[in-house]
Amino acid sequence: MSETFATVEKAIRAAASNPLPETIRKDHSFLLDLGFDSLTITVLTLELEHFVGQPVLLNRWVESASNPTDLTVGSLCAYLEQVVSV
């Protein structure tokens, strides 16, 4: 498991308001599989900032998806590896 994935998983678990699967996979959709909505994504942003110790802007990640179901754990990990030092 990569350090980025581990950080994202911790942030997901901290931000979630719904029960989550025991195992979070990179192909999980935030919308369909994890039950995230726009408010939970905002909380996720704050949790990521806490865990990485720097500002995290997810607007470009969200805008990059042609369909909201394309916002997956794996796509978030790839985005974070490009924009922050995890």
pLDDT at position 86 is 57
Tell me: pLDDT of 83 over 60: yes
Note the pLDDT tens digit of each residue in 60-73: 999 999 998 999 99
pLDDT tens string 17-48: 999 999 999 999 999 999 999 999 999 999 99
**Can you list the domains of the chain with their CATH numbers?**
3-83 (1.10.1200.10)
Residue 56 clears pLDDT 70, i.e. is over it: yes
Q: Is the pTM above the cut of 0.95? A: no
**Three-state secondary structure string covering the chain:** CCHHHHHHHHHHHHHCCCCCCCCCCCCCECCCCCCCCHHHHHHHHHHHHHHHCCCCCCHHHHHCCCCHHHCEHHHHHHHHHHHCCC
Taking the CB of residue 67, how many other CB atoms lie within 10 A of it? 8
